[in-house]
Chain A
Amino acid sequence: MRYILLIYQNTEAWNGLSQEDKNVFMRAAGDIVEELSATGEWVGGEGLADASQARSTRVRDGVVTVTDGPFLEAKEALAGYCIVDVATPERSEEIAARWPDAQHWGMEIRALMHGGGEEG
């Protein structure tokens, strides 16, 4: 079963970290990607550019509005995602908990919908 793990990062806290601390973060994440690639559970993932660089689009009554910044006004913003292919929901929780971001802010785990299904 496939899950997307969404990194909800506290932007201010992240920007407040020293470069050294940020490097430790990146290395930890890199190690987990290595590990998951070895187990065959890694499907893909990316880091996202800083939330301040986001743009949000809305169209209402045919009028297109593009505003600077993330869609939701919150302390946390999406900073990255990873997609994993695992045997159980528990394993997805295990992986999310290992992510360095889980220790500082949080991760959201969402199942990916299948295109197929059982006819029952």
Chain B
Amino acid sequence: MNERSLQELAPRVLAAVVRRHGRFDLAEDATQEALMAAAQQWPAEGVPDNPGGWLIAAASRRLIDALRSEAARTRREEAAFAQEPPPGAGVPDADDTLTLLFLCCHPALSPPSQLALTLRAVGGLTTAQIATAFLVPEATMAQRISRAKATIADAGARFELPPDHERAARLVVVLHVLYLIFNEGYTATSGERLQRRELAHEAIRLTRTTRALLPGDGEVAGLLALMLLTQARSGARDRPDGTLIPLAEQDRLSWDSALIEEGTQLIGQTLSRSPLGPYQLQAAIVAVHAEAATVADTDWPQVLKLYDLLHALVPSPVVTLNRAVAVAMVDGPRAGLANLDALDGDRRLALHHRLASVRAHLHEMAGATQAALAGYEDAARRAMSIPEQRYLQAQVQRLSGDVENPPTAPTIG
């Protein structure tokens, strides 16, 4: 049995242990320990006939030990719980995984805590793996997870689905957490540790699980499609030294066609069946890019229409920024630049490097090289990522060369 299968059992074992003994916090630690024991013992001793049952029994024993050391149980209860489960009993219904997912995304938790707890309790990752992926010392991550469980308990959360009137809002948080995990993984570059980049695969796996549990939900499907279509580019987006390659310059032959096929089919089906939502729209936009064999083939009018819909649904400075690029491709750079002026009023975005770099790019498209150069310099100063900063500095270099030796024809981006 490989690591992936153990991970898949993790949330269901945890759910079974919590249902049997309560104490989500101790149950979660006990499940972790049982998984680690299995990972060590099974390769040597062989996988048991009922792996789920083995894990539940192992976790239960550890939980009882923990309770014993808390001096909270009577001997009689210990004896009853220490019995092996009947041979037929395996892991319960997958529905409890959904309960667990909702619990880990409890609103009382901060996003870093939601991410960490989800990856451990639902993802079955070890604390060490999560710590490495998030560039945090293991002891710090262990404490973050343990505090997260205490916070949930203090908030009075129970091991059950949130009430109907809260469920939709909680699902939005779950999807956001899954998206954040994906983004951490996807934006990691080749120069970074493998465990960091694997977060993208984890996020896709957890989103597939969520989709299996909520097959009718359009936004869950949309998020999965968005992840698949985005992940398709992961081999083309950076060089081995970590230098970023913008979408327009990527070698599309190295995009993963299987992921594109799956993502495109999924979003196509979903759009025809479900009420529109932001993840679906974002997936549709990425699908339009993925369908274009070359940059020049991109159906920009379609991209613009989708951004119009997205802006109507969830207006945000980021959407405005991305839409302005589409406007520039359809109506010319000056039209795109005009759209950007509206963003100067937003304090946070006005200082952000992306506004400066998009503006610089459009200035370049419009032939205003000096303005583009100044924009890229500004953006490079504001950048918070080393690869992005390097990319922006490279544009400054390139344009400095152009200013000294202007090309004979205007540059059209």
| Most B-side CB within 10 Å, residue of A38, A117, A118 | A117
Residues A119 and B384 in contact, CB atoms below 8 Å apart: no
Chain B 363-381 interface 0/1 with A at a Cβ cutoff of 8 Å (1 = within): 0000000000000000000
Residues A38 and B242 in contact, CB atoms below 8 Å apart: no
Residues B384 and A43 in contact, CB atoms below 8 Å apart: no
Interface hits, B80-110 → A, CB 8 Å: 109-110
B44 to chain A, nearest CB (A): 36
Binds A, one of B19-27, B30-38, B62-70, B136-144: B136-144
A55 to chain B, nearest CB (A): 27
A85 at the interface (CB under 8 A from B): yes
A7 to chain B, nearest CB (A): 20
Q: How many residues from B make CB contacts under 8 Å with A?
A: 43
Given the contacts A115-B188, A119-B237, A37 and B143 also touching, CB distance less than 8 Å: yes
A98 to chain B, nearest CB (A): 16
Q: Which residues of B contact A69 (CB under 8 A)?
A: none
A42 to chain B, nearest CB (A): 7
B93 to chain A, nearest CB (A): 30
Q: Closest chain A residue to B390 by CB distance?
A: A117
Residues B189 and A117 in contact, CB atoms below 8 Å apart: yes
Interface hits, A16-60 → B, CB 8 Å: 37-44
Given the contacts A38-B151, A43-B136, A44-B137, A117 and B388 also touching, CB distance less than 8 Å: yes
Residues A39 and B348 in contact, CB atoms below 8 Å apart: no
Residues A119 and B110 in contact, CB atoms below 8 Å apart: no
Residues B385 and A114 in contact, CB atoms below 8 Å apart: yes
B386 at the interface (CB under 8 A from A): yes
A74 at the interface (CB under 8 A from B): no
Q: Which residues of A contact B247 (CB under 8 A)?
A: 119-120
A113 to chain B, nearest CB (A): 5
Residues B386 and A113 in contact, CB atoms below 8 Å apart: yes
A37 to B191, CA, bound (A): 30
Binds A, one of B111-119, B221-229, B279-287, B338-346: B111-119
A87 to chain B, nearest CB (A): 5
A32 to B388, CA, bound (A): 33
Interface hits, B345-361 → A, CB 8 Å: 348, 354, 357
Residues A40 and B385 in contact, CB atoms below 8 Å apart: no
Residues A39 and B238 in contact, CB atoms below 8 Å apart: no
A111 to B384, CA, bound (A): 7
Residues B386 and A87 in contact, CB atoms below 8 Å apart: no
Q: Which residues of A contact B383 (CB under 8 A)?
A: 117
Q: Which residues of B contact A117 (CB under 8 A)?
A: 187, 189, 244, 383, 385-388, 391
A37 to B141, CA, bound (A): 10
Q: Which residues of A contact B242 (CB under 8 A)?
A: 115
A84 to chain B, nearest CB (A): 10
Given the contacts A37-B143, A44-B137, A119 and B246 also touching, CB distance less than 8 Å: yes
B389 at the interface (CB under 8 A from A): yes
B245 at the interface (CB under 8 A from A): yes
Residues B116 and A118 in contact, CB atoms below 8 Å apart: no
A41 to B136, CA, bound (A): 11
Q: A39-B147, A116-B385, A117-B385 are in contact. List 17 more A-B contacts (CB 8 A).
A: A40-B109, A41-B110, A42-B140, A87-B110, A113-B384, A114-B187, A114-B384, A115-B189, A115-B386, A116-B187, A116-B188, A117-B388, A118-B388, A119-B233, A119-B244, A120-B354, A120-B388
Please list the residues of chain B having a beta carbon within 8 angstroms of any beta carbon in chain A.
Answer: 109-113, 116, 134-137, 140, 143-144, 147-148, 150-151, 187-189, 191-192, 196, 233, 237-238, 242, 244-247, 250, 348, 354, 357, 383-389, 391
Complex A-B: 15 CB contacts under 8 Å? A1-B384, A40-B110, A43-B136, A85-B112, A85-B134, A85-B136, A87-B111, A113-B385, A116-B387, A117-B387, A118-B244, A119-B245, A119-B246, A119-B250, A120-B357
